[in-house]
Amino acid sequence: MTVATSADRSGVSLNGLIDLQRYPLDHLDGEAGRELIAQCREQLAQDGCVVLKRFVPREALERLERETQRLSPEAHYNQTETNPYNSDGDPERPDRHPLNRFDDRTNGFVAGDRIDADTIIRQVYENPEFQRFIASVVGMEEIHQYADPLADLVINVLREGCQHPWHYDTNEFIVTMMTRKSHGGGRFEYAPGIRSPEGENFAEVEKVIDGDRSRLKSLDLQPGDLQIFFGRYSLHRVTPVEGDKERHTVIFAYAKEPGFIGRPERAQRIFGRMAPVHESLQKEGMSRNDALAD
Write the DSSP string, 65-125. Answer: HHHHHHHGGGPEEEEEEE-TTSS---TTS-TTSGGG--EEEEEEEE-GGGS-TTSHHHHHH
Residue 263 belongs to some domain of the structure:
yes
Q: Is 220 inside any structural domain?
A: yes
Residue 219 contacts residue 51 (beta carbons within 8 Å): yes
For residue 88, being part of any structural domain is answered with yes
Q: Let me know: does 177 contact 170? Beta carbons within 8 Å.
A: no
What whole-number distance in Å separates Cα of residue 239 and Cα of residue 249? 14
**According to the model, what pLDDT value does residue 8 have?**
46
Each residue of 144-190: pLDDT tens digit? 999 999 999 999 999 999 999 999 987 789 999 999 999 999 999 99
The domain containing residue 101 runs over which residues? 31-284
Give SS3 for 30. coil
The vertex-123 CA angle with 119 and 126, nearest 5°, equals 140
pLDDT (0 to 100) of residue 59: 87
Domain contains 199: yes
User: Of 6-15, 100-109, 175-184, 246-255, which range is least confident?
Assistant: 6-15
Query: What SS3 class is residue 252?
Result: strand
- Which of 250, 80, 243 lies closest to 157, judged by CA? 250
What angle (nearest 5°) sits at the alpha carbon of residue 133, between those of residues 132 and 135?
65
- Looking at residue 264, its amino acid is P
**Residue 25 half-sphere exposure, CB side, CA atoms within 13 Å?**
24
Is 191 domain-assigned? Answer: yes
In a domain, 23, yes or no: no
Residue 123 has pLDDT above 60, yes or no: yes
pLDDT mean over 45-69: 94
- Burial readout 148-163 (b: 16 or more C-beta within 10 A, e: otherwise): bbbbbbbbbbbbbebb
What per-residue string of b and e applies to 252-288 under the rule 16 or more CB within 10 Å gives b?
bbbbbeeebbbbbebbbebbeebbebbeebeeeeeee
pLDDT at 90 over 70: yes
Would residue 19 count as lying in a domain? no
The per-residue pLDDT for 290 is 54
In a domain, 112, yes or no: yes
Q: How far is CA 17 from the centre of its chain?
A: 20
Q: pLDDT band for 95, please (50, 70, 90 cuts).
A: very high
Q: Can you list the alpha helix ranges (DSSP code H) found in 156-214?
A: 202-209
* Nearest alpha carbon to residue 101 among 115, 88, 116, 114: 88
Is the overall model pTM greater than 0.85, yes or no? yes
Three-class SS of residue 229? strand
Q: Look up the CATH number of the domain holding residue 169.
A: 2.60.120.620
Task: Provide the domain count of the chain.
Answer: 1
